[in-house]
Amino acid sequence: LRTPHLDFFQQQRPELSWLEIHSENYFQPNAAERKYLHTLREQYQISCHGIGLSLGSVERVSQVHLAQLKALIDAIDPMFVSDHLSWSENGGHYFNDLLPLPYTEEALNVFTRNVLEVQDYLQREILIENPSSYVKFQHSTISEWEFLVEVQQRTSCRLLLDLNNVHVSAFNHGFDC
* 104-142: pLDDT as tens digits: 999 999 999 999 999 999 999 999 999 888 888 999 999
Domains and CATH numbers, the chain: 19-173 (3.20.20.150)
Q: What is the largest CA-CA distance in the chain?
A: 52
In whole angstroms, how far apart are CA 114 and each of 47, 105, 143, 147, 157? 21, 14, 20, 15, 12
pLDDT given at position 12: 86
**Cβ 59 vs Cβ 90: under 8 Å:** yes
Tell me which residue of 13, 112, 128, 110 sits closest to 59, measured CA to CA. Answer: 110
Q: What one-letter code names the amino acid at 14?
A: P
Of 46-60, 62-76, 89-103, where does mean pLDDT reach its minimum?
89-103
User: Cβ of 124: how many Cβ atoms within 10 Å?
Assistant: 13
Task: Classify 144 as helix, strand or coil.
Answer: helix
Per-residue pLDDT of 137-154, as tens digits, reads 999 999 999 999 999 999
Task: Name the helix (H) or strand (E) containing 127.
Answer: strand 127-129
Q: Please indicate whether residue 81 or residue 134 has the higher confidence score (pLDDT).
A: 81
